[in-house]
Amino acid sequence: MKIEAVDFFYLAMPQITTEGDGSQDALLVRVAAGGHVGWGECEASPLTSIAAYVAPMSHGACRPVMASVAGQTIDTPADIARIAHAIEMDSMDLLQAPHTWSGIEMALWDILGKARGVPVWHLLGYRRAHNKQPYASILFGDTPQETLARAQGVRNSGFSAAKFGWGPFGHGTLSDDADQLDAAREGLAEEATLLIDAGQVFGEDIEAAAARLPHLERVRALWFEEPFLGSAYECCATLAARSLVVKLAGGEASHNVFMARHTIDNGRVSFVQIDCGRIGGIGPAKAVADYAVARGVTYVNHTFTSHLALAASLQPYAGLAAHRICEYPAAPKVLARDIAGEPLKPDDNGEIRLPETPGLGISVDTAAIAKYLVDIEIRMRNKTLYATPRLV
Amino acid sequence: MKIEAVDFFYLAMPQITTEGDGSQDALLVRVAAGGHVGWGECEASPLTSIAAYVAPMSHGACRPVMASVAGQTIDTPADIARIAHAIEMDSMDLLQAPHTWSGIEMALWDILGKARGVPVWHLLGYRRAHNKQPYASILFGDTPQETLARAQGVRNSGFSAAKFGWGPFGHGTLSDDADQLDAAREGLAEEATLLIDAGQVFGEDIEAAAARLPHLERVRALWFEEPFLGSAYECCATLAARSLVVKLAGGEASHNVFMARHTIDNGRVSFVQIDCGRIGGIGPAKAVADYAVARGVTYVNHTFTSHLALAASLQPYAGLAAHRICEYPAAPKVLARDIAGEPLKPDDNGEIRLPETPGLGISVDTAAIAKYLVDIEIRMRNKTLYATPRLV
């Protein structure tokens, strides 16, 4: 099958706010090859990722992503890996390239699965897709009262696990954070799993992060996510050594397999969180899952956007029964909800099951999302490099 | 001083080839503040870096670089660090951001130096700028004969050190590479320093890289640069342990201080190479230089573009007398030569001296480069986000 078309669609809510909510816009990729159509989604900054696809070449190691993708043949997973390697070498100096490629890579797996009539997890070598326990991923409220209300909402929705993150956490006093943690725990069921995401707020300040550990223990948080800057592995390892009960989690910013491995080996996390929309798609994420298994670390998806991104992000560890927990965007913006024709709803046991349908198992509802489409044009020397294509 | 204007200029040669020559295009940044004008240069893929400046916000941790820069005040180096930190947090999910910010950061140092009437290296705390020994940075020829001719050219130009890289190296047989290495050594003076840059060609293949070590020793190469993928620190450390004579060099892809530290601590390089156009500018590069000193590692600039980029890249280690060697783009495209009004020519001893003039000490020859200007327009919903500004 020859890659005949790669189209990017930038979707956005009418208003974008500064809250840490990644579902306010989306960059979808539609790829056509061999009579099949595949879909993927890139994280984040749609305009920049589009530019990385169409930018003129700077030199041999700084070619646009398009140079390694357009017109290529894909008939096996090895073909996807071959294109990934071409981008690794030929877009070496184009920093944004892994984010742009991630969405394309998902779409190529979607096409391969559809062409063979099997789900993507089957192509990855898994015999079955095990059910996952979704955790509702939401933001701290501006006040403990708001956080309490959100936690009660999560409980009423039937989730057995929830993650609270960002918002005011780490920006105020120790006592402010304790109030937020108490509110989160109070609103959840006694037996519910509670996860906390600091959103890198402590920079490299180990003591500030460590000061939160006793209260994190008190509210029985399972993990403390990204207390430090994404590449500050040493800080993370130091805190991990000091935290006997609460585990460390991180890795979402990894834009190649090495970074994820370093998060495990040098950051000493117990949970490695991979965003398939950043790391280069499903193939490298599967390599991280294999690595995590070998190191006794639990693999978790990082997903705060649509159910298309969610379906892609669950494939790399679909067959790992012991790696049960999964991030589930519980309160996304309507844009992100409208993308997937068949959202991945929790079943009666509150579990998520990946579809058995070929490819990623998610259709994109083009009619529903047309209203979010952002009209973009990039022109160079009076020649159009990119213009928003027709969605339908 | 308030940042009043930030203008990006995309320059390109009429023809861009796939050779590994980073001087074929350039992204210049001009910043105006407090009646002063500063200049900087971003590495690489100009269109993508422009997009990262003007892209609409995706969410609070994925704001465009502009959001942290426009209208800010800069009166001290701490102000530059404050803006850098804002970008670190607020453009956390915008992968291209460090490359975009790098050029702006240089321009801010240029402005601060001009406002105070001192060179940038003085603002960094250095009492004087020590002379550097430039190495001519050139590409292997397609054949050993071409490489020999280039090496002879370097010798005739008076350089006492030269680096050969990319081209066919590592793509053919061991014997092909030996012929290339012999040609490089043969063309240089007996006492000249020879450096070899593999351009990541061996991926993660330690044995393939190790097989080159005996011949690298035979031609007395001082360092073996980037045999592996930029983040494959473990491969680099393994080879470093096996190479008793030839030292390892790397780090150019670092887009934050942590990556450079990991190149030193986990990659076990003896030379850490920092591109000020990628790592976030001069401030973080100075932090790496301090770190290198503490670890007994030699700091080296990475520069393959203009003398504006060169002047910026020498500042972070200008005062380190023991860190003498510097990369010098010896055969850049005419575009890169035309950018700087006063190029940094080797003196009678073949050494490079940073100017004592305020700021970066380089003026941009706007009249000379106007002919390379690439006309770009980025429009969103019929609103212009970016249009190439007037150069003069």
Contacts of A165 (CB under 8 A, 6+ apart): A20, A137, A138, A139, A140, A196, A197, A198, A199, A225
CA distance B99 to A130: 41
Task: Report chain B residues whose CB lies below 8 A from the CB of A44.
Answer: 58-59, 62, 93-94
pLDDT at B122: 98
Residue A121 has pLDDT above 90, yes or no: yes
Task: Report chain B residues whose CB lies below 8 A from the CB of A231.
Answer: 256, 258-259, 262
A320-361 pLDDT, tens digit each: 999 999 999 988 999 999 999 989 999 999 999 999 999 999
CB contact under 8 A, A374 and B380: yes
How many angstroms away from the CA of B254 is the closest CA of chain A? 10
The percent of residues in chain B predicted with pLDDT above 90, rounded, is: 98
Task: Report chain B residues whose CB lies below 8 A from the CB of A60.
Answer: 17-21, 166
CB contact under 8 A, A45 and B58: yes
pLDDT at A331: 87
Q: Do residues A57 and B53 lie in contact, with contact meaning Cβ atoms separated by under 8 Å?
A: no
pLDDT at B331: 87
CA distance B45 to B100: 10
What tokens does B82 get? Answer: 């404050």
Task: Report chain A residues whose CB lies below 8 A from the CB of B266.
Answer: 262, 266
What tokens does A268 get? Answer: 């000493």
How many angstroms away from the CA of B57 is the closest CA of chain A? 7
Q: Edge-to-edge strand order for the sheet containing B36-42?
A: B3-12, B25-33, B36-42
> Number of A:B CB contacts under 8 A?
203
CA distance B311 to B301: 10
Report helix, strand or coil for A283: helix
Pairing of strands B325-329, B133-139: parallel
pLDDT at A205: 98
Residue B251 has pLDDT above 90, yes or no: yes
User: How many residues in total does chain A contain?
Assistant: 392
pLDDT at A342: 87
B282-303 pLDDT, tens digit each: 999 999 999 999 999 999 999 9
B300-356 pLDDT, tens digit each: 999 999 999 999 999 999 999 999 999 999 889 999 999 999 899 999 999 999 999
pLDDT at B392: 83
- Residues in a beta bridge with A161: A193
pLDDT at A389: 97
Q: Which helix H or strand E contains A279, and what residues bound it?
A: none
Q: Edge-to-edge strand order for the sheet containing B271-274?
A: B298-301, B271-274, B247-250, B221-225, B193-197, B161-165, B133-139, B325-329
Residue from B261, B232, B264, B238 nearest B249 by CA: B264
**Of A22-31, A105-114, A337-346, which range is least confident?**
A337-346
CB contact under 8 A, A18 and B60: yes
Task: Report chain B residues whose CB lies below 8 A from the CB of A278.
Answer: 95
Buried-exposed string A243-255: b where 16+ CB fall within 10 A, e elsewhere: beebbbbbbbbbb
Task: Report chain A residues whose CB lies below 8 A from the CB of B288.
Answer: none
B200-245 pLDDT, tens digit each: 999 999 999 999 999 999 999 999 999 999 999 999 999 999 999 9
Pairing of strands B247-250, B271-274: parallel
For the packed helices A233-242 and A257-265, what is the interaxial angle rounded to 10 degrees? 30
Q: Which of A47, A59, A258 sits opposite B55 (nearest CB)?
A: A47
Q: Residue ranges of the alpha helices (H) in A70-134?
A: 77-90, 97-116, 120-123
Banded pLDDT at B80 (limits 50, 70, 90): very high
Residue A254 has pLDDT above 90, yes or no: yes
How many angstroms away from the CA of A147 is the closest CA of chain B? 19
Q: Would you give the distance in Å from CA A142 to the centre of its chain?
A: 24
Three-state secondary structure readout of chain B? CEEEEEEEEEEECCCCCCCCCCCCEEEEEEEEECCEEEEEEECCCHHHHHHHHHCCCCCCCCCCCHHHHCCCECCCHHHHHHHHHHHHHHCCCCCCHHHHHHHHHHHHHHHHHHHHCCEHHHHCCCCCCCCEEEEEEEECCCCHHHHHHHHHHHHHCCCCEEEEECCCCCCCCHHHHHHHHHHHHHHCCCCCEEEEECCCCCCCCHHHHHCCHHHHHHCCEEEEECCCCCCCHHHHHHHHHHCCCCEEEECCCCCCHHHHHHHHHCCCCCEEEECCCCCCCHHHHHHHHHHHHHHCCEEEECCCCCHHHHHHHHHHHCCCCCCCEEEEECCCCHHHHHHECCCCCCCCCCCECCCCCCECCCCECHHHHHHHECCEEEEECCEEEEECCCCC
Residue A215 has pLDDT above 90, yes or no: yes
pLDDT at B75: 98
pLDDT at B63: 98
Complex-level ipTM: 0.97
How many angstroms away from the CA of A129 is the closest CA of chain B? 30
Average pLDDT across chain A, whole number: 97
pLDDT at A392: 83
> What is the torsional sign of CA A44, A50, A55, A60?
positive
CB contact under 8 A, B17 and A60: yes
Residue B175 has pLDDT above 90, yes or no: yes
pLDDT at B154: 95
CA distance B265 to B95: 24
CB contact under 8 A, A232 and B258: yes
Q: Is B92 exposed, middle or buried (0-12, 13-18, 19+ CB in 10 A)?
A: buried
Residue B266 has pLDDT above 90, yes or no: yes
B23-67 pLDDT, tens digit each: 999 999 999 999 999 999 999 999 999 999 999 999 999 999 999
Contacts of A207 (CB under 8 A, 6+ apart): none
Q: Do residues A340 and A364 lie in contact, with contact meaning Cβ atoms separated by under 8 Å?
A: yes
Q: Do residues B327 and B133 lie in contact, with contact meaning Cβ atoms separated by under 8 Å?
A: no
Banded pLDDT at B5 (limits 50, 70, 90): very high
Beta-carbon neighbour count of residue A125 at 10 Å?
10
- Taking every pair of Cα atoms in chain A, the longest distance, rounded to a whole number of angstroms, is 63
Residue A90 has pLDDT above 90, yes or no: yes
Q: Would you give the distance in Å from CA A168 to the centre of its chain?
A: 22
Residue A24 has pLDDT above 90, yes or no: yes
Could you tell me the pTM of the whole model?
Answer: 0.97
How many angstroms away from the CA of B285 is the closest CA of chain A? 16
Residue from B392, B366, B384, B330 nearest B159 by CA: B330
